[in-house]
A and B are shown apart, each in its own frame.
Chain A
Amino acid sequence: MIVRNSLQDADLPQDDPRVKQLNVKMKKEGYKPDALIEILHNAQNSYGYLPINVLRYIAKVLRLPPSRVFGTVSFYHFFSMKSKGEHTCLVCTGTACYVKGAQKLLDKVEEKFGLKQGQVTQDGKIGLQAARCIGACGLAPAVILDDEVQAKVSPEDLISKLTSKLETHEQG
């Protein structure tokens, strides 16, 4: 279905700064298909995820079949076509963190917020994800909360940090 309708509504509002940035990136890469992954990184950085119309737009501009773009996006774990939530909580489930009890962190978040890996709370405020090693194994278990690495996290720590994120959110 996606493929059939692919090039309809493949246009994006050109005055959107995110689109402008995307255009600059594609131009810089010379519209080369082999820069697709770099371009997707750029788009995900500005949108937070990869909305489907953005993918269609990229396919159109790079003159690639949309299947090629979707195929690439779905292959790599780093890319997501769903919003990741306003606050992201990324729990490392690499070996070092596994040995040091990453599962307990995931269990606790599930118990407290009813979130499983890859889900976002209904109000869209917190998204829970898991990663296979973020390279901070010396300080396991590690969590990335809104781009900030937290070292040696205990389940209680994590819950209190998440709760305080929600509180500042309400105030702000």
Chain B
Amino acid sequence: MNRVDFKNIIHAEELKAKNAPTKHKIFVCCGAGCISSGADNVMKKLQEEIKNRGLEDIEVVPTGCMGPCNQGPLVKFKPGNTVYQKIDCVNIGEVVKSQIVDKKPLEDLLLFSEHREKPFVNAEEDPYFKKQLKIALKDCGDVHPEKIEDYLLHDGYKALDKALFEMSPEDVISEIKQSRLRGRGGAGYPTGLKWETVYRHVNDQKYIICNGDEGDPGAFMDRSVLEGNPHRILEGMTIAGYAVGANKGYAYIRGEYPLAIKRFEAAIKAAKKLGVLGKNILGTNFSFDVEVRIGAGAFVCGEETALIASIEGRRGTPSPRPPYPAESGLWGKPTLINNVETMASIAPIILKGGEWYSEIGTAKSAGTKVFALAGKINYAGLIEVPMGTTLREIVFDIGGGIQGDGQFKAAQTGGPSGGCIPAEHLDVKMDYEELMKLGSIMGSGGLIVMDENSDMVDVARFFMEFCVDESCGKCVPCRVGTKMMHDLLQKVCENKATQLDIERLEELAVYVKECSLCGLGGSAPNPLLSTLRHFRHEYDTRVQPVRKSENLVHQ
């Protein structure tokens, strides 16, 4: 297929969509959350209902995650963007009747009806969506993840077309640099610079890796994009391949996400069939192929050098850097590794320009960030906001506040490598720098809200236990240090610790941070240090007085 054919296909699809007899489209959220609350059955029942009522001009589309998972299963009607919540096989009939037949929205089941004086018929007007800006997640919830034609109707593969025919690889890189996009996998390294480094390393074989390991327990952003809009990631990877001069890519996806794996593999097949992936893409002499690699449940495999070992079929232990993967990565070749969300942001940047993207967000952190809200928050689910949105806006305006009558105590970001943000810092502007100042990190986007029932020492213990389990054992500071810190934290939790133990904890934290081989150990003390910093009194109130004899032993 060449460029003209491609344009013709898009044109034909657009015509087909325009002239389709379909007046209404009903979107059923089939994200992981809604499926576990029964979306599959709702989908079946809905199709039956439509058939029984003879409403043939209605199209039912299963989609990826729409956002407010806690209110699911969700069903959206277009035109009008009317969203209904907590749909089951019983009330779906009523909804169809009143929305389509009687043309009157069913107020009781509208999204957030229990919390709004007057729920919005057009969900986009609800503050939940109004405060958000969706770029990476934009089409999740609107496209059929297994239909490439649907993606084409949402500007799909247009960015690839633009990059291949109107831009040189250098142009693509400078566009990404201009966008000031930073890696969304945690560390926030400037994406354009990374691409340039890989581009500069001359080699006849280079690789692209999309990191979909999503190891942070309590985060599901990457999963939702992989499941909801896999073509967007494929497109991003292919553009990356063109820019840095690679012709082979790997998508490393967690084994815990079978649906994401299935949809991504289907997307690869469809893209190859269409000619936007594989040999001679769109008739050019650029070829790019993608393979899926399935993770096997090891947090450390999210770390780039460990991930490479795992793709090579070995134990996923990290190696010292340098050399960085950009120079010597997969099978010793220059390799570009980017997170799923980073890849999902590429196509819009190429289409709308780096300048457009760089104007969103804050001075040092451009663009938007996806957060996975969970914990004691009303509207747990997936959101995307401009960088610099305050934590208060996220938790209260978007997230609907704390569940029940609880009080906000802290929000945990960055998972086992991050820290807690206490209530007095609710007005922090969420970007890489500000979070760092508070002793936390942006991380991949997990945001867990805790209320006054959470015991912060136990939270630190919980994350330390996670790091003990997940330490690969290669380096001593991490393997032994995390275990020692865990045991000391356990002692504090059981009210058996003394002031000396706290001092030992602080000392160990520094050693482990400084001496570990990779980022797992390097950041393992973070939750401990951050709870010590913001919730010291919870440690102090449990500490036992030091007995004289003990004091002597430890001096």
Contact = CB atoms under 8 A, between A and B. Distances in A.
Contacts of A131: 256, 297
A136 B37 CA distance: 10
Contacts of B375: 95-96, 99-100, 140
B316 A76 contact: yes
A28 interface: no
Nearest to A93: B217
A136 B314 contact: no
Interface stretch (A9-17, A31-39, A107-115, A162-170): A31-39
A77 B296 CA distance: 7
B113 interface: no
Interface in A26-78: 32-38, 40-41, 68, 71-72, 75-78
A95 to B, nearest CB: 3
Given A96-B218, A134-B256, A138-B380, A72 B448 contact: no
B448 A135 contact: no
B35 A149 contact: yes
B448 A34 contact: no
Interface in B5-35: 32-33, 35
B462 A139 contact: no
Given A41-B255, A95-B415, A133-B256, A71 B315 contact: yes
B524 to A, nearest CB: 15
A139 B310 contact: no
A137 B36 contact: no
B33 A138 contact: yes
Interface string B363-388: 00000000011111000111000000
Nearest to A64: B313
A13 to B, nearest CB: 26
Interface of A: 32-38, 40-41, 68, 71-72, 75-79, 93-100, 131-140, 142, 149-151
Contact of A138 (B299, B313, B372): B372
Contact of B214 (A35, A100, A135): A135
Contact of B312 (A34, A71, A77): A34
B448 A96 contact: yes
Interface residues of B, number: 54
B376 A99 contact: yes
A140 B313 contact: no
B217 A94 contact: yes
Nearest to A41: B294
Contacts of B72: 139
19 contacts: A32-B313, A34-B313, A35-B313, A41-B255, A41-B294, A72-B314, A76-B297, A76-B298, A77-B298, A78-B295, A99-B374, A132-B297, A133-B216, A135-B220, A135-B254, A136-B36, A140-B375, A149-B35, A151-B36
A72 B313 contact: yes
Nearest to B472: A75
Contacts, number: 136
Interface in B42-90: 69-70, 72
B511 interface: no
B293 A38 contact: yes
In this complex, the member of A35, A72, A95 whose beta carbon has the largest number of chain B beta carbons within 10 angstroms is A95
A100 B127 CA distance: 26
Nearest to A131: B256
Contacts of B296: 37, 40-41, 76-79
Contacts of A93: 217
A151 B72 CA distance: 11
B311 interface: yes
Contacts of B315: 71-72, 75
Contact of A139 (B69, B218, B295): B69
B339 to A, nearest CB: 16
B257 interface: yes
A136 B70 CA distance: 10
B36 A133 contact: no
A79 B298 CA distance: 10
Contacts of B298: 75-77
A59 to B, nearest CB: 13
A17 to B, nearest CB: 21
Given A95-B446, A99-B376, A133-B219, A138 B297 contact: no
A101 to B, nearest CB: 10
B292 to A, nearest CB: 9
Nearest to B65: A138
Interface in B304-334: 310-317
B450 interface: yes
Contacts of A140: 374-375, 380
B207 to A, nearest CB: 13
B177 interface: no
Contacts of A137: 218-220, 372, 374, 380, 446, 448
B223 interface: yes
A77 B220 CA distance: 19
B374 A36 contact: no
Contacts of B220: 133, 135-138
A16 to B, nearest CB: 24
B229 interface: no
B32 A135 contact: yes
Nearest to B68: A138
A115 to B, nearest CB: 19
B294 A37 contact: yes
In this complex, the member of A33, A35, A151 whose beta carbon has the largest number of chain B beta carbons within 10 angstroms is A151
Contacts of B466: 132
Contact of A77 (B32, B216, B297, B372): B297
Given A133-B220, A135-B214, A142-B36, 12 more contacts: A37-B294, A75-B315, A95-B374, A95-B375, A135-B32, A137-B380, A137-B446, A138-B33, A138-B372, A139-B36, A139-B69, A149-B36
Nearest to B221: A135
B495 interface: no
